[in-house]
Every structure is written in C-alpha cells, then in structure tokens.
Chain A
Amino acid sequence: MTPVEQFCAELSAVQGEARLAADPAALAGHLREILAAHAIGRLAHWQHPALAALGLLAAADAAGVERLAVGPEPTDQRLLATAAAGLTHSDLAIAETGSIVLFSRPDQELTVSLLPLVHIAVVPAAAIVADVPAATAHLGRLVREDPAGLHTIHFITGPSRSADIEMTMTRGVHGPQFVYALVYTGDPAAQAAGT
C-alpha cells in the first residue's frame, strides 16, 4: 500500500473521508460536492496562497457560498463559529493513522478547523509521512528552529468523538462532525504557484 492509499484507508476507518484529486479541476469538483451535500451557507477559510492557486476559493464563490477569510489579524471567534464549514491546508499528514496535521501561522487560525461542523483540509500527497514517530521527528526539528512560530500544532484524526454516554460512540461533540481530506496528487507546481 502506498502512503496515500494508507492515509485514505485509515481516515475512512475513523469515519473521516479522503477524496483524491489529480488536478485542480478535480479538487474544485470535490469541494463543490461537499459544500452542496452539507448545504453550506458560510465557509470560513485560511488565506493560504495554495487555496486560491488551486482554484478552491473561486469554486466556493461559484457555488454561491459566502466566504469568511480568516487572518492574519485577530479573529472574531463568535463570527467564525457561525460558519458551517472550515477550509484549511495541511503541511503534514500521517499515513499510519490518517491524521491531518495543521500548524499555527499568523494566517492559519486553527479554530477554522474546530468551530464549524464540517472541516475540509487540502492535503498535498507529498506531505504524507509514514507514521507518528516520523511526524514527531520532523516536527521536533521545526519547533527547535522556530518555537514561537509553531506555538500550536494539531494532529486531527477524524471527526470529534466521545464515548462518554454508555460507551456509545457519538460524533461532533465539540469539534467537527465531518472531516474531509482533499488529497492532491497532482503537479505540486500548480499549488506552489501561489506560495
């Protein structure tokens, strides 16, 4: 199994959903489908250059969704909490566990991936590492270089869940009930064009 295949299988095992896209058009198609499936009215998103470069913001506009661009100035969390979906971009993902890893950056308000009921993350295929020790080794290097910049890192492994009532699994306790990874296997140049 390739790391991409394993990532997708593991994410679906924890009730998330991974969708593969080989080019920006396919990526935008997935986003439109997800926005429509959940009848999203307001989409909060990072100002990450790749999201625009890959045509995702244009796709949201075309779908008639109201966009809430978040950061780099401090975020009104109450306003953000009114968004039904949040769109982010992952710099690292873990094949072994199906985890999406998000980093704190001035223009990457992490609550975009937490407050809305639906979280959609773009995951470049090249960002997928094999396992948790590989991820922590990599992150250790980054944090040693820039501890203040990387003040917060989240591994997100599927939808928010709890088994606190009679050990029955329920989803969307405090965080998202639905988690999508749009795994971009296409030309990194299309994405890098923005960065």
Chain B
Amino acid sequence: MSRAEFDRLAAKTMADTGLLKTLETGLGRKKAGRLQAWAELPDAGALRAEAQQIRARVIEGLEDHLARFSAAVTSRGGHVYRAATAAAASAYIADLAAARGVRLAVKSKSMVSEEIGLNRALQQRGVRAVETDLGEYIIQLEGETPFHIIGPSLHKSRFEVQAIFERESGERLADDPAVLTAFARARLREEFLSAEMGISGCNFAVAETGSISLTTNEGNGRMVTSLPRLQVTVMGMERIVPTWDELGVMLSLLSRSATGQKLSVYTTLLTPPAPGKEHHVVIIDGGRSALIGSDLQEVLHCIRCGACLNVCPVYRQIGGHAYGPVYSGPIGAVLNPALFGDCAAGHLPHASTLCGACSDACPVKIDLPGLLLAHRRRHARATTGSAAAATKSAAAARAQIGWRQRLAFALWAAVFSRPALYRLTTRLAARLQRPWLRDGRLRRGPAPLSLWTGDRDLPPLARRRLRDHWSAGGGLSEEEQGS
C-alpha cells in the first residue's frame, strides 16, 4: 500500500465523525476494561515481566522449540508443513483442499491467514472459503479487510450491517444487533455442518506436547475445529510457548489485555489429530526468521491482543485501513514494513508521535517506540546512502509537507534561534492571544496556527513565562504548577 493510499484512507476515517466517535468511546472502553482486568490481578507488573521474559526466551531458542513442536505433532500422525513464504503456505493449503475434493472451507478468525492471502488462493482452486467470525463474515461480504486486529468490523454501523445482511439474504432485517447476530448464527450454522475443511489460527503452540491453543468468544472456532473432517491450523512461526506452564501465564494476560475479560469465552486446546480427522499444521515464516538477530527481533514477542491499537492516538484518528490490509496500529506500523518491505509500508513508522502509550499497554512490554525508531534509522541510512537518493528523498519530503507548514517552521526557526526576538515574540503573543481564547483555551488560532487548531485546542500561553520565574530566582507557586 502506497503512501498516497495511506493519506487517502487516513483522511477517509478522519472525515467520518461518526466513526471517530465510535473509536473514541469504544476503544476507550476497551482500554478501561484492560486496566481494570490488570488491576484485579494480584501482581500484574510481575506477570507482565514474566510474560516478557517467556517471549524473549522463546524467540531466542525458536528453532529448537519448533522442532520439538513439529516432532510431537508428526509422532501422532499429524502433518506439519514449514512454509518459507506466504505464497508457499497458501499454495499448500489450496492444493490440499483441491486434492481432497473440498468445495467449502469454514474459517475461524486468523490474522496470519489474511497475511498469506489464503481466501484468494482457495477461491482460485474453486474452493469457497467462508469466514465465520461475525466481524470477519461482515467484512468478507463487503470485500473489505480487517479494521482492527480483534474487531475486524469495528468501522461498520449496525445500519451498514443490516444493509449488508439484507442484500445477502434478500430478507428484511431489523437494525438490532441481536437480530443481526441471530441471522448470522442461522446462516453460518448450515455452513459449519456442510464444510469439508476447517481452517483456524493459533494463539499459542505448546512445544512439549504439540498442542494448539485458540482463544475465541463466539464459538465459531470450536465449530471449525470440531465439525469438518479435514483440519488445517495456520500459525506464524513465533506463536510458540515451551510448556503448559508458560501457556498458563500467557492465557492469564491475553484476554485481559485484548478485551478486558479474565478469560475469553472459549479457550480451545487441541492436541492434534483428533480421532478420525486429518490435521495439517502450516507454520509460516514469511520474513520472520530474518528478523531474529536484527534490531527488530522484539516485534516477534507480540501476542496479537490489540491493546496497542486501543490506546494509540494515531490509530484513533486514522483507523485501521490506512495501515494496510493485515496488521494495524502501532504493531502494524512495526510489523508491516518488517514483513512486507519498505515499498509496501515504509512510511508507517513515521506516522507516530512516539508517545509510548502502546508500550505501556503491551502485556509483554514490547518497546514499540524503540522499534519504530529502529525502522526510521534504517530508513534514514537507506535514503542517505547516496547523494542522489538523499536529494530525491528531501525533495519528496518537501512535496509532502506543503508550503504552509514549511512557512510555519521557517518562522519558528527564525524566532527560536534569536534570543531577543524569542523574548519579544513570546511576551507579545501572551498579550495578543486574547481574541483567540475560548473558555480559557486557544481555539481557531491565526494562520498558520489554524492548521493545528482547526480540530484541536491548545492551552494558552502563561502571562508569566518560565523564563520570568527563572530570572526572578523563584520557583512556581502551587497554583501555577497545577495550571
């Protein structure tokens, strides 16, 4: 996805005031839910530190763990396929479906299956692949990609869902979420009972026993893994935990961080294959192993809870689609360029204020701002590698910024680099700001400040500046500190 597409999709969300409000309240609720769920733990800090260490150790010894996991699955008659690329993974599954004469495959939600473009590969082999997570079902009918890692249809109002389901069924439906949910239940129940292949993801893979843990709320994951005879699990190679003890730690954090639940409704623990079933586990590299030993290794610690999206001020403004078709939010801004390359996503690490809310929210304490900076460093090194490239990228940067912003920064630089002018300007500004103050806040400032104050406000400049206090030799009064 190009930089221009990013701008277009970000602007689309930013212009949708209804959606912005949904994001503000809905994601705010998710954040509050997580904080409460963490607070109910005896010692969330210690648990997060333990989880962080578990993830770090797993990635350090990843190949050994994967070998152990694969041996356990194959020793029971299950099949393991290590796919080096996304294309190899989807081709393996599509070939398998074709070889077994599958016409209908039901899927439970899996971000990695989005990553490998599995639905398209199946479709090309004449297999109908039906998403059965309610949110995924909605966006599949719309031909869209997930808006949020755990809330794919977050951007759809009940009225849009009503219209989508009415178009699909030819029936009249109420705009009540309960009615719409009941419709999806009835529709998808028939698909579950008819499907020849079930495709599901993996939250954690336990190396010692070759077991797979799935966390879901709706029950579609259970349907998919229990009804069809032919089973496929798709997993990123970093999903490993060594033993069931580490699994307990990770499960204690995953749902709390994702949705504020102590545990999601269904935790499914498969130790495949089940009797009478054929089970294939497809383990996807897709650029992950190249990150081990690099300055981006820590991104492999992620457990895909989505907590960083919920707190990100950028995600809340631009929504999920601007990040590209798969991963969004801070984790997407780090993961997408790491997996899909700078051409597809190199601009994403720059779309961040580096405020650090994401790493505070991360249950495994990934240093996301540090990883964003690592990307920026790589980018700077790459673009300043040759004089021609540097000139080209500087010109491109200037074109992106626009003349008003350049003027604003030029003025700022002129004032800020001349102490006398700075003193004069700040004194004058504190006096002259009055016409733009509303309710004690600076709103609708003069151009070029209006670019900022158009949809935000600023605190007013203090009458007594810090430098006035400083030169008077005094500290701030309590009142001034509070204001």
Contacts and interface: CB of A to CB of B under 8 A. Distances in A.
Interface of A: 10, 14, 74, 77-78, 81, 94, 96-99, 104, 110-111, 114, 131-137, 139-140, 143-144, 147-148, 150-168, 170, 172-176
A94 B252 CA distance: 12
Interface string B352-384: 000000000000000000000000000000000
Interface of B: 22, 26, 29, 72, 76, 132-135, 138, 151-154, 156-158, 161, 177-178, 180-182, 184-185, 188-189, 192-193, 206, 208-211, 217-220, 222-223, 225-227, 243-245, 247-249, 251-252, 259, 261-276
Given A114-B226, A165-B181, A158 B244 contact: no
Nearest to B194: A78
B177 A166 contact: yes
Contacts of A164: 133-135, 138, 151-153
Contact of A10 (B29, B76, B262): B262
B162 to A, nearest CB: 9
Nearest to A78: B193
Contacts of B177: 165-166, 168, 170
Contacts of A167: 22, 26, 29, 151, 154
A140 B265 contact: no
B29 to A, nearest CB: 7
Contacts of A176: 219
Nearest to A96: B262
A104 B184 CA distance: 28
Given A133-B249, A143-B211, A160-B217, A152 B274 contact: yes
A14 B265 contact: yes
A153 B212 CA distance: 10
A150 B252 CA distance: 22
Nearest to B244: A140
A134 B158 CA distance: 41
Contact of B193 (A81, A152, A153, A158): A81
Given A147-B72, A165-B181, A174-B192, 13 more contacts: A10-B262, A81-B193, A97-B262, A135-B248, A140-B245, A153-B268, A162-B134, A162-B217, A164-B153, A165-B180, A166-B22, A167-B154, A174-B220
Nearest to A173: B218
Given A136-B248, A160-B218, A164-B151, A151 B134 contact: no
A74 B226 CA distance: 12
A139 B227 contact: no
B215 to A, nearest CB: 9
Contact of B132 (A74, A78, A174): A174
B217 A161 contact: yes
Contacts of A14: 261, 265
A111 B218 contact: no
Q: Which residue among B29, B157, B271 has the maximum number of chain A CB atoms within 10 Å of its CB?
A: B271
B396 to A, nearest CB: 39
B275 A151 contact: yes
A132 B263 contact: yes
Given A144-B209, A165-B134, A114 B243 contact: no
A123 to B, nearest CB: 16
Nearest to B132: A174
8 contacts: A74-B276, A77-B227, A135-B248, A155-B268, A157-B266, A162-B181, A173-B184, A175-B266
Contacts of A143: 209, 211, 244, 269, 271
A94 to B, nearest CB: 8
A172 B226 contact: no
Contacts of A168: 158, 177
A158 B218 CA distance: 11
B220 A173 contact: yes
A151 B22 CA distance: 41
Contacts of B192: 174
Given A104-B274, A175-B265, A166 B248 contact: no
A42 B352 CA distance: 57
Given A114-B226, A167-B29, A175 B153 contact: no
A175 B218 contact: yes
Contacts of B193: 77-78, 81
A140 B268 contact: no
B265 A159 contact: yes
A133 B245 contact: yes
A133 B138 CA distance: 35
Given A99-B263, A151-B271, A173 B219 contact: yes
Contact of B243 (A104, A110, A140): A140
A90 B16 CA distance: 48
B264 A157 contact: yes
A152 B225 CA distance: 9
A102 to B, nearest CB: 10
